[in-house]
Amino acid sequence: MTGDFATLWEFSVPPARRAEFEAQYGPAGRWTALFRQAPGYLGTELLRNRMDPQRYVTIDRWASAEAFRDFRRRFSAEYERLDRELEGLATRESPLGEYVPVGAERA
């Protein structure tokens, strides 16, 4: 699962919410179900920090930045609705940015 574009987010999750968070934000969760509706979506990785198990990072991979932006345009209402529904699973969420592989010709 590579791709020419990735978005990364960091989350802090209380111990009592970890299982639910992992179910919703992992590769079989509701976010990926939404993303899969869009052309150019390649997959999601959910990583838990070994030293701080309340800290998570998601990596969402897309074929291109344009594929991601098209998804956000086409599914903005669904994205916002799901974000509201899952609010509270994490005590903090922060975007870590948009990334491209070193050497990729497209951004």
| CATH label of the domain that carries residue 29 | 3.30.70.100
Residue 58 lies in a domain: yes
Residue 103 lies in a domain: no
Strand pairing report for 92-99 and 55-62: unpaired
Residue among 30, 45, 44 nearest 82 (CA): 30
Domain that holds residue 19: 5-97
Residue 107 lies in a domain: no
For the beta sheet containing 5-12, the strands, ordered from the edge strand earlier in sequence to the opposite edge, are: 41-48, 55-62, 5-12, 92-99
Residue in this structure with the two tokens 């052309």, named with its chain if needed: 39
Residue 106 lies in a domain: no
List, for the chain, all residue ranges whose pLDDT scores fall below the cut of 50. Answer: 107
Residue 2 phi/psi, 5° resolution?
-105, -125
Residue 14 lies in a domain: yes
pLDDT tens per residue, range 5-18: 999 999 999 999 99
What pLDDT sits at residue 82? Answer: 97
